[in-house]
Amino acid sequence: MSIRRSIVVAAFLGLTTLSFNSNAKSKHKLHKSQCSTISKCVEVISKITGDKYFSSESLKGEATLINLKIDRDNADLILSSLLNDSGYTRIKEGDGTYKIINARDIRYTAVPLVSADRDNPPRLPSSYDYHMMEYKLKFPESSKIITRNLRPFLSRYGRVVSPNGIDRIIVQDTAKNLNRVHSLIVKLDQEIDKEVLTEIKVKEKRHHEFKLMKIQNCCEK
């Protein structure tokens, strides 16, 4: 009787294991099929992370997952990346609550601010959410050169400004790209040759005079 009972128990455990593996695989496939569009991905991932999302517009765009299982470890990054690729971004409105907006409107929206300098990189999450970095320059006279050379490396809706009269550069971009931008600024934050600095000032003066001429011509018409 004990041998028969052992066989029955073993068979039962084997069936249970097969059933569990089957359910796990179907659950994996269920996530993949449900995450075929951006709006469906938001719904699926919000259930995994427990975060809540809302938007004032209908989300458009498709998503494709190939041999990728969404779990609590990667769900947040996957959603942030998918939103970014589809022209959206998310803004944290409270504990576990996010608003999804069109990324082109990010300039009109308040985003988290981080500080950085040559020796201290910005503390940023590993995501494609937008942040603003305030970088303190060691050589303020290099601000114009840095600003001009950074623009090609910004994302589509990234921005960089160098306010006159202060030793700061302000950059707004995704957290992922800001880490790269910081390393570029560090390399460019160098003492500028006096001749180069004089040339920059002359060009700025000419540009300013040209703008004034255009304004004057428009007023005369």
Quick one: residue 165, left, alpha or beta (phi over 0 = left, psi -120 to 50 = alpha)? left
Cα angle value 205/209/211 (rounded, 5°): 120
Cα–Cα distance for residue pair 201/179, rounded to 1 Å? 30
- Of the candidates 108, 37, 136, the one whose C-alpha atom is nearest the C-alpha of residue 79 is 37
Which pLDDT value is given to residue 172? Answer: 98
Same domain, 125 and 163: yes
Does residue 27 carry a pLDDT above 90?
Answer: no
**207 has pLDDT over 70:** no
Whether residue 26 is predicted with pLDDT greater than 70 in this model: the reply is no
Q: Quick one: DSSP state of residue 142?
A: G
Q: 213: domain range? A: 195-221
In a domain, 143, yes or no: yes
Task: For residues 182 and 119, state if they share a domain.
Answer: yes
Task: Please indicate whether residue 199 or residue 63 has the higher confidence score (pLDDT).
Answer: 63
Residue 6: is its pLDDT beyond 50? no
- CATH number of the domain encompassing residue 137: 3.30.1370.120
**Domain for residue 206, yes or no?**
yes
Mean per-residue pLDDT for 112-124?
96
Q: How many structural domains comprise the chain?
A: 3
C-alpha dihedral (167, 172, 177, 178), degrees to nearest 10 = 30
pLDDT at 21 over 50: no
Q: For the chain, how far is it from start to end, CA to CA, in angstroms?
A: 108
Q: Tell me which residue of 103, 105, 116, 34 sits closest to 75, measured CA to CA.
A: 34
The CA distance from 115 to 49, in Å, is 28
Same domain for 203 and 178: no
The pLDDT value given to residue 14:
44
> Residue 205: its pLDDT value, please?
60
Mean pLDDT of 80-94: 96
Contacts of 52 (CB under 8 A, 6+ apart): 46, 96, 97, 98
Rounded CA-CA distance 174/179 in Å is: 9
Model confidence, pTM: 0.74
pLDDT-derived band at 203 (thresholds 50, 70, 90) equals: low
pLDDT band at 12 (very low <50, low <70, confident <90, very high): very low
Contact 116, 135 (CB under 8 A): yes
Give yes or no: residues 77 and 133 share one domain: no
Q: Are residues 180 and 131 part of one domain?
A: yes
**Residue % of the chain over a pLDDT of 70:** 73
Q: Which of 88, 105, 122 is the last residue of a domain?
A: 105
192 confidence band (pLDDT: 50, 70, 90): confident
What would the DSSP string read from start to end of 30-85?
HHHHHTTBHHHHHHHHHHHH--EEEESS----B---SS----TTTHHHHHHHHHHH
CA atoms within a 13 Å half-sphere pointing along the CA-CB vector of 119: 1
The reply to whether 181 falls in a domain is: yes
On whether both 122 and 153 belong to a single domain, the answer is yes
**Does residue 183 lie within any of the structural domains?**
yes
User: What does the alpha-carbon distance between residue 94 and residue 111 come to, in Å, rounded to a whole number?
Assistant: 13
Looking at the structure, tell me whether residues 59 and 115 fall in a common domain.
no
pLDDT digits (tens, 9 = 90+) for 129-179: 999 999 999 999 889 889 999 999 999 999 999 988 889 999 999 999 999
Strand order in the sheet with 97-102: 52-55, 97-102, 88-94
Least confident stretch, 15-29, 62-76, 110-124, 168-182: 15-29
Confidence at 28, pLDDT banded by 50, 70, 90? very low
- Quick check: 38 pLDDT over 80? yes
Same domain, 42 and 80: yes
How much is the pLDDT for 209? 60
